[in-house]
């Protein structure tokens, strides 16, 4: 069923794009006219570990493009898009980015789930000066050490979620903590942030267990967790490992004792597995049952546009893609041009009203790190779901500046403007 929707989406993309940019012909017919569409390169994973999330953010970016076009486009130009599978593989992502820029001549590139892919695309984009939106990779290094002048980071990072959650969890559940850290960069950075913040509120770290990437059996770890008897297990486990861990924790009914603090749960990773598969306390940037104006309407539009997808309601991954694309259009409008430097300046420091973003607090694009500083929600599994999509219970919302990563600004060194080539399509 998903297949059909993907196919029809592809068909739509193909009709709009490949007619003009078929693989064998370089068509410059639009270049002569001012009404040339603004071509967006969508680099969403369609295979590999993050295929499911990649397709979800694609639903977000595509739906935003359609809405923008329905209102007449930007600067009198329509938006069109091409998609390419980045396969959750940096080598592929580099090639895709080179191809989109050199052959398809895209104006902007949008999309990423994994930090290696985001970095691979970001490097190519920076080389040519193409503005690139990392929609969903939440590695703290994305807006820190690996930040770039052309790259903007739209998801909350591991550090944001750790900052937002830690204080609350120490007070509610106790001070003896155990860190479960996926043994890769995201895991390490996230656990480091958790350790920093939680220690500030009096938590003591009993141990840190490094979970190798690709772990499929958590039984030795779960036994050890029981032997250590912590009050709180702070898990920075991601990707397939997280799905496997959730399953095994839930199966053993270890979900309530100890208390689990998970960094972030992506909606495509949990939706469809049943409400009971969600446990512990975790962060998110958006939820489809937030009691805010516009949310219910967005859910309706999503369901009308994507009736056949298995994910019945929009989640955070969709949301980040959707919001990023709308903000891109607005930035082009403000800049009055698709010139990269003008668009970058229109984005840097830009404030986004809470109402427009359907979050509780105003958000802004940090001019120092190019990171969208936004409301972070603290949520838990829902013990009183009102319907079959109601997985989360939103516990509280944290203002952007309270969730902000204190190390981000120091770690991020954006390239100067004059080292960024001018680019305009």
Of residues 152-211, those binding other proteins (CB under 8 A): 183-186, 188, 209-211
- The verdict on 103 binding other proteins (CB under 8 A) reads yes
For tokens 């993907």, the residue is 6
In the complex, the smallest distance separating the C-beta of residue 164 from other proteins, rounded to whole angstroms, is 23
Q: In the structure encoding, which two tokens stand for residue 376, read together?
A: 């972070």
User: Directed axis angle between helix 219-228 and helix 239-251, to 10°?
Assistant: 60
Site string for other proteins, 206-235 (x = CB under 8 A): ---xxxxxxxxx-xxx-xx-xx--------
3-state secondary structure of 321: helix
What is the separation of C-alpha 114 from the centre of its chain, rounded to a whole number of angstroms? 9
In the complex, the smallest distance separating the C-beta of residue 293 from other proteins, rounded to whole angstroms, is 30
- The verdict on 85 binding other proteins (CB under 8 A) reads yes
- The verdict on 342 binding other proteins (CB under 8 A) reads no
Listed as own residue / partner, the contacts of 327-335 with beta carbons closer than 8 Å and 24 or more positions apart are 327/352, 328/40, 328/108, 328/110, 328/131, 328/133, 329/64, 329/68, 329/74, 329/79, 332/38, 332/74, 332/75, 333/74, 333/75
In the complex, the smallest distance separating the C-beta of residue 247 from other proteins, rounded to whole angstroms, is 5
Phi-psi region of 116 (alpha: psi -120 to 50; beta: other; left: phi over 0): alpha
Site string for other proteins, 266-305 (x = CB under 8 A): --xx-xxxx--x----------------------------
Phi-psi region of 49 (alpha: psi -120 to 50; beta: other; left: phi over 0): alpha
Number of residues near other proteins (by CB under 8 A): 81
The nearer residue to other proteins, 228 or 299, going by C-beta atoms, is 228
Residues 6+ apart with CB under 8 A from 300: none
- The verdict on 119 binding other proteins (CB under 8 A) reads yes
Choose which of 20, 47, 292, 364 interacts with other proteins (CB under 8 A).
Answer: 47
Choose which of 89, 138, 338, 369 interacts with other proteins (CB under 8 A).
Answer: 89
The nearer residue to other proteins, 3 or 32, going by C-beta atoms, is 3
The torsion defined by the Cα of 104, 105, 107 and 113, in degrees rounded to 10, comes to 50
Choose which of 8, 12, 26, 294 interacts with other proteins (CB under 8 A).
Answer: 26
- The verdict on 116 binding other proteins (CB under 8 A) reads yes
Exposed, middle or buried by CB within 10 Å (0-12, 13-18, 19+), for 337?
middle
- Per-residue CA distances from 314 to 90, 302, 360 (Å): 27, 7, 18
In the complex, the smallest distance separating the C-beta of residue 219 from other proteins, rounded to whole angstroms, is 5
CB count within 10 Å of CB 74 equals 19
In the complex, the smallest distance separating the C-beta of residue 166 from other proteins, rounded to whole angstroms, is 23
- The verdict on 262 binding other proteins (CB under 8 A) reads no
Choose which of 252, 303, 349, 410 interacts with other proteins (CB under 8 A).
Answer: 252
The nearer residue to other proteins, 64 or 147, going by C-beta atoms, is 147
Q: In the structure encoding, which two tokens stand for residue 140, read together?
A: 């703290």
Give the chain's length. 425
Of 121-129, 279-287, 345-353, 359-367, which segment contacts other proteins by CB under 8 A? 121-129
Choose which of 196, 248, 337, 407 interacts with other proteins (CB under 8 A).
Answer: 248
The nearer residue to other proteins, 159 or 170, going by C-beta atoms, is 159
In the complex, the smallest distance separating the C-beta of residue 233 from other proteins, rounded to whole angstroms, is 14
Compute the distance between CA of residue 303 and CA of residue 168 in angstroms, rounded to an integer.
35
In the complex, the smallest distance separating the C-beta of residue 362 from other proteins, rounded to whole angstroms, is 30
- The verdict on 415 binding other proteins (CB under 8 A) reads no
Q: In the structure encoding, which two tokens stand for residue 127, read together?
A: 């080389």
What is the separation of C-alpha 228 from the centre of its chain, rounded to a whole number of angstroms? 34
CA-wise closest residue to 316 among 290, 277, 288: 288
Q: What are phi and psi of 220, to 5 degrees?
A: -60, -35
Helices and strands of the chain, counted as H and E runs: 15, 15
Q: Within 350-369, which residues bind other proteins (CB under 8 A)?
A: none
Site string for other proteins, 1-20 (x = CB under 8 A): xxx--x---x---x---x--
In the complex, the smallest distance separating the C-beta of residue 106 from other proteins, rounded to whole angstroms, is 12
């Amino acid at each position: 069923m998903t297949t059909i929707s993907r196919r029809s989406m592809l068909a739509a993309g193909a009709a709009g794009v490949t007619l003009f940019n078929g693989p064998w012909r370089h068509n410059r017919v639009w270049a002569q006219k001012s009404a040339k569409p603004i071509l967006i390169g969508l680099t969403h994973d369609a295979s590999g570990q993050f295929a499911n999330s990649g397709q979800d953010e694609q639903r977000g970016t595509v739906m935003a493009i359609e809405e923008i076009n329905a209102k007449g486009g930007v600067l009198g130009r329509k938006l069109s898009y091409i998609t390419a599978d980045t396969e959750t593989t940096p080598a592929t992502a580099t090639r895709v980015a080179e191809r989109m820029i050199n052959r398809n001549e895209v104006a902007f590139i949008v999309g990423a789930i994994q930090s290696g892919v985001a970095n691979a695309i970001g490097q190519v984009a920076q080389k040519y000066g193409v503005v690139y939106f990392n929609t969903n990779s939440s590695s703290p290094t994305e807006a820190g050490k690996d930040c770039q002048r052309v790259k903007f980071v739209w998801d909350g990072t591991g550090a944001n979620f750790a900052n937002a959650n830690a204080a609350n969890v120490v007070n509610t559940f106790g001070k003896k903590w155990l860190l479960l850290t996926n043994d890769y960069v995201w895991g390490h950075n996230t656990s480091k942030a958790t350790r920093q913040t939680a220690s500030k509120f009096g938590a003591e770290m009993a141990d840190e267990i490094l979970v190798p990437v690709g772990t499929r059996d958590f039984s030795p770890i779960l036994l050890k967790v029981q032997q250590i008897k912590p009050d709180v297990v702070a898990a920075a486990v991601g990707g397939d490992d997280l799905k496997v861990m959730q399953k095994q924790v839930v199966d053993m009914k270890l979900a309530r004792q100890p208390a689990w603090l998970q960094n972030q749960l992506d909606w495509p990773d949990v939706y469809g597995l049943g409400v009971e598969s969600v446990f512990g306390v975790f962060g998110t940037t958006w939820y489809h049952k937030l009691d805010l104006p516009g949310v219910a309407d967005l859910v309706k539009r999503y369901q009308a546009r994507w009736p056949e997808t298995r994910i019945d309601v929009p989640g955070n991954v969709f949301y980040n893609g959707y919001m990023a694309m709308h903000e891109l259009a607005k930035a082009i409008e403000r800049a009055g041009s698709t010139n990269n430097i003008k668009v970058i300046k229109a984005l840097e420091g830009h404030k986004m009203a809470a109402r427009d973003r359907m979050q509780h607090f105003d958000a802004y694009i940090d001019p120092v790190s190019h990171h969208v500083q936004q409301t972070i929600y603290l949520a838990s599994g829902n013990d009183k779901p009102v319907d079959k999509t109601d997985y989360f219970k939103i516990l509280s919302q944290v203002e952007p500046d309270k969730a902000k990563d204190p190390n981000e600004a120091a770690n991020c060194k954006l390239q100067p403007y004059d080292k960024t080539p001018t680019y305009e399509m």
